[in-house]
């Protein structure tokens, strides 16, 4: 089953009748959440395949896709399900077509707020220069965006970064023509001359820059000010509870890909470039634009937390901020917002993977 939505997430949950899902897989009780996190049991059985959602672009874990490392480590077939946006990921989760996904924090928080039974299990990394504001030659600073058409992928880390930037620079966003488009649509609109600027990620940023664009802001600058913008790994709770050992192994295998990349970034970029048939420069820039956090460091108060239901963790606090942002843009109702998102950040698998 595939649920179709355009930009928002509201129709997704109305279409699939999420009430029935919540009846069997609700996760509103934090005590139950903590118990589930601390009492995972290893199943000797393995599924016929593990379905991983990926965006099709150059990311470090593509090293493992190219070499078959995930199949070897998990001991079963891996099905890579490609998506174009975070909204697509939630469609796949809702339709039970994927098990684990790497995607942005915004759609993850929106989904959790509305009750989709998933949980955050780790970070791909902090978004840095991989996402940036690219503009036409007549724009030199953020205030020049007044009256201009600025595109972004809806409900994405890029939109969150753009909104945070406008707020920090005290730019009245009602005076900016904000256009939600998918990344490929952004490139097409730029080529036609329909937009003046775009906040998006690689390799689309590089495509805009090849057509005369230049960057005036990178998401790195938000992270430096304590506004965490990140991509996370999320898992279907049902899958994780049935195959906890596979979730742990997945995180370990991802860390191995990070280690391979950091040992020789050039060689890793060349491998991914050839595998995806993309220009080396695009791949190199995109991979370098992510700040990779080791598993052991992720399992600390600074990021996911050092214990179950860690309300003081960096991600728990960031999730609260993201939820407020989603309410402000009309993506969530205030009644959807959780008192805390800590119960939906499951550190058990991460701590086990880091300890091994």
List pLDDT tens digits, range 292-315: 999 999 999 999 999 989 999 999
Omega prior to 203 cis, within 30 of 0: yes
What confidence score (pLDDT) does residue 154 get? Answer: 87
Q: How far apart are CA 92 and CA 118, in angstroms?
A: 12
The pLDDT tens digits of the residues spanning 39-80 come to 433 445 899 999 999 999 999 999 999 999 999 999 999 999
Q: How far apart are CA 20 and CA 31, in angstroms?
A: 22
Strand order in the sheet with 290-291: 77-82, 49-54, 100-104, 230-236, 118-127, 290-291
The pLDDT tens digits of the residues spanning 330-355 come to 999 999 999 999 999 999 999 999 99
Q: How far apart are CA 294 and CA 279, in angstroms?
A: 28
Q: Give me 218's structure tokens.
A: 């990178």
Among 19-23, 69-73, 140-144, 197-201, the minimum mean pLDDT is found in 19-23
Helices of type H across the chain: 10-15, 18-25, 30-38, 62-67, 69-74, 86-94, 105-113, 157-168, 183-192, 204-210, 220-223, 237-242, 244-263, 265-276, 280-288, 295-298, 314-328, 348-355
What confidence score (pLDDT) does residue 45 get? Answer: 80
Q: How far apart are CA 23 and CA 312, in angstroms?
A: 29
pLDDT band at 356 (very low <50, low <70, confident <90, very high): confident
Q: Are the beta carbons of 133 and 165 closer than 8 angstroms?
A: yes
pLDDT higher for 25 or 102? 102
pLDDT band at 36 (very low <50, low <70, confident <90, very high): very low
Average pLDDT over residues 13-17: 39
Statement: residue 162 has pLDDT above 90: yes
What confidence score (pLDDT) does residue 210 get? Answer: 95
What confidence score (pLDDT) does residue 84 get? Answer: 85
Average pLDDT over residues 141-148: 97
Average pLDDT over residues 85-96: 92
* pLDDT above 70 as % of the chain: 88
Give the CA distances from residue 319 to residues 2, 61, 262, in Å, rounded to whole numbers and listed in that order.
27, 24, 28
Statement: residue 102 has pLDDT above 90: yes
Mean pLDDT of the chain: 88
pLDDT band at 225 (very low <50, low <70, confident <90, very high): confident
pLDDT band at 7 (very low <50, low <70, confident <90, very high): very low
Strand 214-218 versus strand 131-135 pairing type: antiparallel
Statement: residue 107 has pLDDT above 80: yes
What confidence score (pLDDT) does residue 44 get? Answer: 54
Q: Going from the N-terminus, what domains does the chain have, and what CATH number goes with each? A: 10-126+230-355 (3.40.190.10), 131-218 (3.40.190.10)
Statement: residue 26 has pLDDT above 80: no
What confidence score (pLDDT) does residue 16 get? Answer: 38
Which residue's structure tokens are 């052991």? 296
Maximum CA pair distance of the chain? Answer: 61
Statement: residue 22 has pLDDT above 50: no
pLDDT band at 85 (very low <50, low <70, confident <90, very high): confident
Q: Are the beta carbons of 345 and 305 closer than 8 angstroms?
A: yes
What confidence score (pLDDT) does residue 32 get? Answer: 44
Statement: residue 101 has pLDDT above 50: yes
Statement: residue 24 has pLDDT above 80: no
Average pLDDT over residues 115-137: 96
Model pTM score: 0.80
What confidence score (pLDDT) does residue 19 get? Answer: 35
Q: How far apart are CA 264 and CA 269, in angstroms?
A: 9
For residue 51, the cross-strand partners are: 79
């Amino acid at each position: 089953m595939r649920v179709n939505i355009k930009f928002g997430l509201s129709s997704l949950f109305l279409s699939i009748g999420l009430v029935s899902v919540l009846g069997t897989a609700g996760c509103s009780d934090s005590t139950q959440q903590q118990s589930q996190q601390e009492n995972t049991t290893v199943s000797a059985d393995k599924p016929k395949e593990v379905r991983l959602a990926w965006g099709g672009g150059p990311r470090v874990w593509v090293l493992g896709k190219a070499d078959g490392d995930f199949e070897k480590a998990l001991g079963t077939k891996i099905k890579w399900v490609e998506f174009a946006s975070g909204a697509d990921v939630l469609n796949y989760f809702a339709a039970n077509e994927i098990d684990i996904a790497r995607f942005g924090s915004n759609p993850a928080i929106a989904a959790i707020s509305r009750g989709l039974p998933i949980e955050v299990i780790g970070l791909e990394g902090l978004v840095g220069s991989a996402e940036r504001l690219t503009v036409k030659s007549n724009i030199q600073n953020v205030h020049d965006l007044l009256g201009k058409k600025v595109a972004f992928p809806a409900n994405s880390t890029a939109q969150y970064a753009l909104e945070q930037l406008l707020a920090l620079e005290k730019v009245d966003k009602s005076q900016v023509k904000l256009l939600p488009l998918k990344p490929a649509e952004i490139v097409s609109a730029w080529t036609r001359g329909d937009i003046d600027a775009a906040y998006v990620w690689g390799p689309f940023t590089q495509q805009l820059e090849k057509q005369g664009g230049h960057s005036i802001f990178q998401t790195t600058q938000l992270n430096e000010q304590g506004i965490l913008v990140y991509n996370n790994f999320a898992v279907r709770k049902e899958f994780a509870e049935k195959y906890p050992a596979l979730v742990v192994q997945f995180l370990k295998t991802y860390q191995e890909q990070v280690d391979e990349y950091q040992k020789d970034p050039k060689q890793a970029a060349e491998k991914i470039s050839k595998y995806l048939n993309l220009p080396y420069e695009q791949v190199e820039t995109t991979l370098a634009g992510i700040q990779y956090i080791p598993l052991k460091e992720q399992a600390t108060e600074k990021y996911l937390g050092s214990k179950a239901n860690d309300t003081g963790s960096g991600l728990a606090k960031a999730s609260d901020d993201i939820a407020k942002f989603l309410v402000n843009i009309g993506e969530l109702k205030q009644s959807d917002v959780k008192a805390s998102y800590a119960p939906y950040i499951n550190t058990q698998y991460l701590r086990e993977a880091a300890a091994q």
